[in-house]
Structure 1
């Protein structure tokens, strides 16, 4: 089971180059695609899902040529887009029954059994008779996963699934995605670093349409070992330190401003070495990309 993306590029009519020669190879399990809003993640997800064409390149899933055989890919695809519409006055059970019928589950008995299974799997069975417009954000996302699982898909795409969820709903969603990822390819597209570090064994970071790095999250973190440092500073000192050092991130902790810098050598000046995490790697790559763009 493998999804292969080769030399994929896409430029919109307004001149924005959303994808620039993207190459990825994705196997079974949870795969994280991490990037800022506007980085090209949703364009890539829609292209894989056969919802739009690319200008060049290819996508294959097992023996399926996705651009030449889109209907074959759709038969094995489950897709939860960043925003998806539902019939607000219909309840979850009714809509899942309708979607299962559209997916080709002809027998009413089979549909009922499938829908009951999906409602239980997504912890929605007790609220199956409630109208979808009464669902919380987390419940709607779990319903989105339920509809994506109809037809036993081999490839599942979830685009920004945890944005706006409270911590409890996010953890519930993590557990659900982890279980699904044991037997399928699940691509998790997100701008939230915690989503990837919590769930994914393999990942890619994308910025301005380009793949900046791929690998295991721990391997990507370890590349910064001994090269990131932190310091508590006054709020009005941020600009001064930004001129002197490569400040890759700044954040408040317990009401105090902390900055993280990248340096190949010990910077002194009160900085202490920091154990790198995935967020540091992410910010460092984006910092370097921005710096390179400014020099061009």
Structure 2
């Protein structure tokens, strides 16, 4: 699906990509990690055909630079920073769908699933939406185009837990017919989403490894927490994850999307002294869980 051969990119005298060799097959889910300045964004922009470079890049056998329109029709892209577009939402959806011959109604449906009904914002300029609304719409556009390659830069950063769960379910529906390249600064944010990790540093690939793929993207964990005392900050945090407490306020229960389990545990780590008990079980059916 993606092939890079001796990909090199320099800005003036600074070499940002240094001889990248990379093969990514259809259906792989890649975490692209590395610190700021490692070369992640430059690699992505080369894949999108935005930069002239040395070496060779092909996507599905085509050059992103020389056959840009053909290649972009196969890509769904979710940038880390939303573009400052002033066009109305309806116009943006129609334009994005037309580029790949997709049905605008499919984008509308995915946006609705993410909790952003398009009918309520159709006439609003994109740049007047909130950060979370922009992110949901960009995800809906990327997934609604039926792209073979999904390139996502911190895609769930501005999503609430409920929307993240739906986002993971949407990715699960595409995991066998699309390649996913997910860029992030933190491996714990994307570890459960992917089956391969590529780490970059100083323009080179310094790690390329397969990872365990034991929890489905649509998996859900049933959680039960017992706390030593009622705490307002803890209660507010758990409410944000849609957890509910019993009458005593000491026992909390709820569900966490499988790919979000590390993020959830990271959140709980701030309250470790407050926790008396924690159980987390992956649900494997409507009425049973795997312990």
Shift of 1:117: 3.1
1:33: which partner in 2?
A: 32
Shift of 1:60: 1.8
* 1:107-154: CA deviation from partner (whole Å, max 9, x where unpaired): xxx845334334335442266436345644333212112222354211
**SS of equivalent to 1:64:** coil
| CA distance in 2: counterparts of 1:255 and 1:78, whole angstroms | 38
Change (3 A) 1:26 1:117: same
Confirm whether residue 192 of structure 1 aligns to residue 192 of structure 2: no
Q: Which runs of 5+ in 1 are unaligned?
A: 220-252, 257-296
2:72: which partner in 1?
A: 74
Confirm whether residue 202 of structure 1 aligns to residue 224 of structure 2: no
Change (3 A) 1:112 1:118: same
2:105: which partner in 1?
A: 113
Shift of 1:217: 2.6
2:175: which partner in 1?
A: 181
Change (3 A) 1:63 1:254: closer
Q: Which moved more, 1:3-12 or 1:116-125?
A: 116-125
Change (3 A) 1:38 1:162: farther
1:129: which partner in 2?
A: 121
Equivalences for 1:230-249 in 2 at 5 Å?
Answer: none
TM-score under structure 1 normalisation?
A: 0.62
CA contact (8 A) 2:57 2:64 kept: yes
2:94: which partner in 1?
A: 97
* 1:94-116: CA deviation from partner (whole Å, max 9, x where unpaired): 43124324x264xxxx8453343
TM-score under structure 2 normalisation?
A: 0.63
CA contact (8 A) 2:82 2:135 kept: no
CA contact (8 A) 1:30 1:178 kept: no
| CA distance in 2: counterparts of 1:115 and 1:197, whole angstroms | 27
CA contact (8 A) 2:108 2:140 kept: no
1:275: which partner in 2?
A: none
Equivalences for 1:213-232 in 2 at 5 Å?
Answer: 213-218=207-212
1:160: which partner in 2?
A: 154
Change (3 A) 1:172 1:37: farther
2:58: which partner in 1?
A: 60
Change (3 A) 1:169 1:146: closer
* 1:75-98: CA deviation from partner (whole Å, max 9, x where unpaired): 2122222223254573x3443124
Q: Which protein has the larger Cα radius of gyration, Structure 1 or Structure 2?
A: 1
Confirm whether residue 148 of structure 1 aligns to residue 142 of structure 2: yes
CA contact (8 A) 2:107 2:145 kept: no
Change (3 A) 1:201 1:50: same
